[in-house]
Amino acid sequence: MANPNFPNIMDAHAHIFPQKISYKAVDSILSFYDELIPEMEPGKGTVSDLLTSGTNAGINYFLVSSTATRPEQVESINDFIADVCKDNRFIGFGTIHPEYPHPQLEIERAASLGIKGLKLHPDFQQCNIDDAALLPIYQAAEGRLPILFHIGDIRTDYSSPRRLARVLDMFPDLVVIAAHLGGWSLWDEFNESVYKKNVYIDTSSSLMLTDRETAVRIIRTHGVDKVLFGTDYPMWSPEAEIERFLSLGLTQEENQKILWDNARQLFHI
């Protein structure tokens, strides 16, 4: 149901999977995060479930992605995401794997299919974000495709904000979305390490783990013009995430920018 105050809302961080593997994929995500987030609100991980739950929350646009945990998954995932995005309610971010041969060619192919960006999850892919294996990917994407990164995990160092800062120093024209308010479970490190003109942050998987004051401080310190709303579906219910976001008490103008205007401008909707 549309929100009368915000007729357009984009969920800039959602994950979908083919029907036949959606249960297994969701279960894998829950297992990865269970020790740190024990009370997740998982959806089914399918296109139809995302549309239903998102529409009920007043969301009418979705940035969707899925992460390749093995190099042989890359092409089929990109084909799946591109096919889903024939529906103009979806914007698709493709995947690439650090061990995938000739990543530049696959990035070109994905872009030709209508893929609008890339999603990398260093912790799932077990590769440091500033590893040399990823540099050709950044080179191919710089100035062309934004990259959505999972950033921050208190248990590992793969995706630390410090490592992201090094990447940004090497590729100053790379447009980055640093998920989870810029550093899931490492928010202070993000604020200390990363403040760049081409870095956006999203609200996904963070609002239930931070207090209101911390979330608002991060958003306003980084700048509301570079913040996107995201649910991290299927980990969380879109309706619950909208409620959490609106309960922050930001101004109407700030909410409008984060829920829609910033995404509309970034993705040229």
DSSP structural state of residue 233: B
More confident residue, 165 or 191: 165
Domains of the chain with CATH codes:
10-266 (3.20.20.140)
Give me the numbers of helices (H) and strands (E) for the chain, helices first please: 12, 8
| pLDDT tens by residue, 200-236 | 999 999 998 899 999 999 999 999 999 999 999 998 9
Integer-rounded Cα Rg, in Å, for the chain is: 17
DSSP 158-215: TT-HHHHHHHHHH-TT--EEETTTTSTT-HHHHHHH---TTEEEE-TTTTTTS-HHHH
| pLDDT tens by residue, 12-40 | 999 999 988 887 887 787 776 665 565 66
| Distance, CA of 203 to CA of 191 (rounded, Å) | 15
Res. 185: pLDDT tops 90 = no
What pLDDT is recorded for position 40? 64
Res. 173: pLDDT tops 70 = yes
Q: What is the mean predicted confidence (pLDDT) over 147-168?
A: 92
Residues 6+ apart with CB under 8 A from 178: 149, 151, 161, 164, 190, 194, 199, 200, 201, 202
The β-bridge partners of 176 are: 147, 199
What pLDDT is recorded for position 10? 98
